A and B are shown apart, each in its own frame.
Chain A
Amino acid sequence: MAEYRYTPEDFKSDQQVKWCAGCGDHAVLNAVQRALPEVAEALGKPHEKFVFVSGIGCSSRFIYYMRTYGFHTIHGRAAAVATGIKVANPDLSVWVCTGDGDSLAIGGNHFIHAIRRNVDLNLILFNNEIYGLTKGQYSPTTKLGKVTKTSPYGTVEHPFNPGELAIGAKGTFFARTVDAEVMLTKELLVAAAKHRGMSVVEALVNCMIFNNKTHADFAGDKATRAEHTITLRHGEKMLFGANKDKGLVLDGLRLKVVTLGEDGYTEEDVLTHDAHCEDTTLHCMLAAMRYPDYPVALGIIREVEEPCIYDEAVEAQLNRVREASPIRTMDDLLRSGDTWEVK
């Protein structure tokens, strides 16, 4: 495999980044630009093989800030366009940048079907629980009761949890990060790129202007994050807290937060994270955990091997048929079957 060595600078375009100061998207851009040199090296991909595709919304401006191939498409359709790119050329590393409105409202259909098909895409879902670019309307992830411009008396609809949606669609890779954790984000993006099949990375990002501190309860600062989030790692105990003194156990069919040393719980009782388990039940429960009842799960929640990867399967089937078929050219096809000659 050829070696490709790049720096984050190689992935920065000459365009001025126009997100608001303090927007969480800046941190994700930073993490992506740091991750790509590592991805290029790990996958043996030259610079020109990277393609970024986006829909509409603040986060979808992402592609203009990358010095890669980039396609800023239309609202909700990035996953569909990206599917076409990847199927046409499976050798490309295709990234989708999309928001909660883009992928879970207008593009909900393409989101679940790209996951169902297990197209080998890396989708970064920027979740700020609001429509930012249209200036502050509630989105499919906005918390119930939230007052926004289009819900002046509070919303009366429950939000989607993107993790439950992705895992419910039998997603093979789902991870979650928060904007402030740049190194975690970078680590998850590299893992997503290495994963064969569809990867969804939910980035909880803050919108300073229209939904400030929406994730602050559990992700506001380092100390809060330590107590109110849990970073899952495959094969490791589900422990959290600044002193790693809290953990998750199964109580019947429900997850329960326990403190080590209290009520007789020891580290032995705490669950060990198995991201590779094919069954979705526990992954779904982990993705569904909400503050304040639970810590919010970060890290790779699900990462399973699935041999049927859509773009590869399309290519493989084509090659199998091609090898077996006597029809090699258009002239062969034109002359195949029932024909007759007029002399």
Chain B
Amino acid sequence: MEQEKTTLQDVVIRFSGDSGDGMQLTGTLFSETSALAGNAISTFPDYPAEIRAPQGTIAGVSGFQVHFGTAGVNNPGDACDVLVAMNPAALKANRRFVKPNATIIVDADTLTADNLAKAEFKTDNPVEELGLTGYNVALVRITTMTREALAGVELDNKSRLKCKNMFALGICLYITGKSSDHASQYIDHKFGSKNPSVAEANRLAIDAGYNYAANNHLFHCSYAVEPAGLTKGHYRTINGNVATSWGFIAAAERCSRPLFCGSYPITPATVILEELAKHKSLGVKTVQAEDEIAGICTAIGASYAGSLAVTTTSGPGLSLKSEALGLAVMAELPLVVVDVQRGGPSTGLPTKTEQSDLMQALHGRNGECPVPVIAASSPSDCFDYAFEAARIAVEHMTPVVLLTDGFIANSSEAWRIPSMADMPTITAPEPAECDGDFKPYARDERYVRRWAEAGRKGCQHRIGGLEKNALTGNISYDPANHATMVATRAAKVAAVADDIPAQSIFGDATGEVLVVGWGGTRGHLQSAVEQMRSKGHSVSLCHLNYLNPLPKGTEQCLTGFRHVVVCELNEGQLAAHLRSSFPHLHFEQYNKVEGQPFTVSELIDTLNKYFD
């Protein structure tokens, strides 16, 4: 078959195999290579909650999708142009993510009767059974060829076979016109000194896969893309959890306070604690607490002692932290609570994404207990919104909830590295000099009290969760005082609206359809709106990062359209929030709760209905 020499604008590759097949590493190396080649990238790992589900079963399939291209790479892509399936279960599990006429690379050695049975195939022809006959299916004996390529390496058979993911990587690097240099360097760095045989085996497997693809005409299509026209500057790849961690370290440096993180492991938020634990050289202290409650409580203690304090969690953990979050509201101490949202309720879908904690973040506490709530909308802007959450917390003396989600937390993209000199300042509200007469609840014109950390001379004071006198902080059961304090706490949070950017619209300010979204769905929503607009449809996007208080101008943004469609990965929580904020406006909804991000195509299908 003659190879087509076409250059595409963007390509999606999905690597899939057994949980133990190393698909996450394969995908990561491929995406880094793409990024180094100047492509815009967006990636998404899709893995089961079980560490090693039974081998060969559909439950044990782990996937990693990479979207790379010249432009328009706002999300990891709905479906793939190339699927790598390391066993029949992977082929079956990922059938639905395959574009028509895609290239499908299957490890032919795994198509045994036993494996087909484990993947619940009824016939001995999985390609036909899955309706893939018209596709460009390459049955490649990856296991055999990997074994043969590594015949000369001093390794046991099992270790050799572990390199078959690198063989598959080699194939993909070739068909996308990429160099294997980065992957080889990574292998050397990881194994070179500790285990030279393993390094050699992995390198040989990459080369073998690369050469196999070069010498073979099974692949009739080249998937090369041109570099993206990215803004000048230094770049790196980053995922949402790492970006969140770095945003906090940056904020701590900017306000000259040490960073403290009290946290408890929970999927998909754990990486933030792991990442922060690495950066002691930047003064970061981490406490892996005995539970979620101790996570936030140690953070509240650290805040009382003057640190920039954060705690990190996911949905069920936020439930456990709610009482302590109320204490931070009452004590008016700066604190950031990160909720990396996952499918709920209860344990729900730990490794899958959802946006169903918005109501919990806004309202999930006893009493009148307002907190600012903000949400990041891409892997890299987790850095900006973590920084922003910390800035608001410190400058307004309040706990802030930062919502991300499993999708942007685990996805990565190329990120233009900022310079600290360009980051905003963060000014902590320091107390004036005191001699034992410090009034903990004296406020400035924005209702912000002073942050007198324990240990500061002359500012000794008592605070706590009981209602307190509006000035002295002493316990007060006075009815009028309580009403004043409730109103003041609310006014303080409302005043944050004066300190955040006004809401803007992508597209025209008036028209037929306004898509409204928030948080991690921005990439998909923006792609869908861009595509609709390119076809001449009157569609705009109003994407929210600030959920409480809503930014100035939000109402105006929502009023110029015939249809306002709130799209979110839940059953309508932002829609409910907007309805209660703007009861005179009408909102329509598009909701999805499948533990998966939106696809651009489903959004376009939905939006097209308004133009029938």
Contacts and interface: CB of A to CB of B under 8 A. Distances in A.
Contacts of A339: 234-236, 417
Contacts of B36: 338, 340
A109 to B, nearest CB: 5
B235 A331 contact: no
B304 A71 contact: yes
B455 A335 contact: no
Contact of B455 (A89, A318, A325): A89
B299 interface: yes
Given A77-B293, A81-B297, A72 B306 contact: no
B281 A322 contact: yes
Nearest to B462: A70
Interface in A64-79: 64, 66-74, 77
B96 interface: no
B282 to A, nearest CB: 7
B419 interface: yes
Interface in A290-332: 314, 317-318, 321-322, 324-325, 327-331
Interface in A83-121: 83-89, 91-92, 109-110, 113
Interface in B437-462: 453-462
A42 to B, nearest CB: 18
Nearest to A334: B417
B418 interface: yes
Nearest to B32: A338
A123 interface: no
A87 B230 contact: no
Contact of B233 (A318, A321, A325, A341): A341
A15 interface: yes
Interface in A197-240: none
B35 interface: yes
B224 to A, nearest CB: 19
Contacts of A13: 462
A82 B301 contact: yes
B463 A340 contact: no
B235 A72 contact: no
B250 A340 contact: no
A54 B462 CA distance: 11
A53 interface: yes
A342 interface: yes
A-side interface size class: 35 or more
Nearest to A18: B475
A35 B396 CA distance: 38
B337 to A, nearest CB: 14
Interface stretch (A23-31, A44-52, A174-182, A255-263): A44-52
A84 B299 contact: yes
B249 interface: yes
Contacts of A342: 38, 230-235
A81 B289 CA distance: 11
B455 A340 contact: no
B323 to A, nearest CB: 6
Contacts of A85: 301-302, 304-305, 454
Interface string B32-45: 10011010000000
A160 B457 CA distance: 40
Contacts of B324: 74, 77
A53 to B, nearest CB: 7
A343 interface: yes
Contacts of B294: 77, 80, 83, 109-110, 113
A84 B305 contact: yes
A264 interface: no
A337 B304 contact: no
Nearest to B35: A340
A318 B285 contact: yes
A70 B299 CA distance: 16
B514 to A, nearest CB: 34
Nearest to B231: A342
A333 interface: yes
A63 interface: yes
A333 B234 CA distance: 13
B462 A330 contact: no
Nearest to B294: A80
Given A72-B462, A321-B281, A87 B246 contact: no
A341 B227 CA distance: 13
A80 B297 contact: yes
A171 to B, nearest CB: 16
Contact of B302 (A66, A84, A113): A84
Contacts of A70: 461-464
Interface in B503-554: none
A84 B296 CA distance: 9
A64 B232 CA distance: 58
Interface in B564-582: none
Interface string B317-344: 0000001101100010000000000000
Contacts of A46: 457
B309 interface: yes
Nearest to B227: A342
Contacts of B210: none
B301 A83 contact: yes
Contacts of B233: 341-342
Contacts of B282: 327-330, 333
Interface in B180-194: none
B298 A318 contact: no
B466 interface: yes
A338 B454 contact: no
A16 to B, nearest CB: 10
B475 A64 contact: yes
A128 B258 CA distance: 40
B291 interface: yes
A324 B280 CA distance: 11
B298 A87 contact: yes
Contact of B290 (A69, A81, A109, A331): A109
B464 A72 contact: yes
B395 to A, nearest CB: 19
A88 B302 contact: yes
Nearest to A342: B230
Contacts of A67: 436, 460
Interface in B267-326: 279-285, 287, 289-291, 293-294, 297-307, 309, 323-324, 326
B219 interface: no
Contact of B237 (A86, A333, A338): A338
A338 B457 contact: no
Contacts of B424: none
A198 to B, nearest CB: 14
Contacts of A321: 280-281
B298 A84 contact: yes
B281 A48 contact: no
A327 B283 CA distance: 11
A298 to B, nearest CB: 30
Contacts of A80: 289-290, 293-294, 297-298, 301
Given A70-B464, A342-B231, 9 more contacts: A70-B461, A84-B301, A109-B294, A330-B253, A331-B419, A335-B417, A337-B236, A340-B38, A342-B230
8 smallest A-B Cβ distances: which pairs? A84-B301, A72-B464, A84-B298, A325-B281, A80-B297, A70-B462, A88-B302, A88-B305
30 contacts: A15-B475, A48-B458, A49-B455, A56-B465, A67-B460, A70-B462, A73-B300, A73-B327, A74-B297, A74-B323, A74-B324, A74-B327, A80-B289, A81-B304, A82-B301, A84-B298, A84-B303, A91-B455, A110-B294, A318-B280, A321-B281, A322-B280, A322-B283, A330-B282, A333-B246, A340-B234, A341-B235, A342-B38, A342-B230, A342-B232
Interface of B: 32, 35-36, 38, 230-237, 246, 249-250, 253, 258, 260, 262, 279-285, 287, 289-291, 293-294, 297-307, 309, 323-324, 326-327, 331, 417-420, 436, 453-466, 474-475
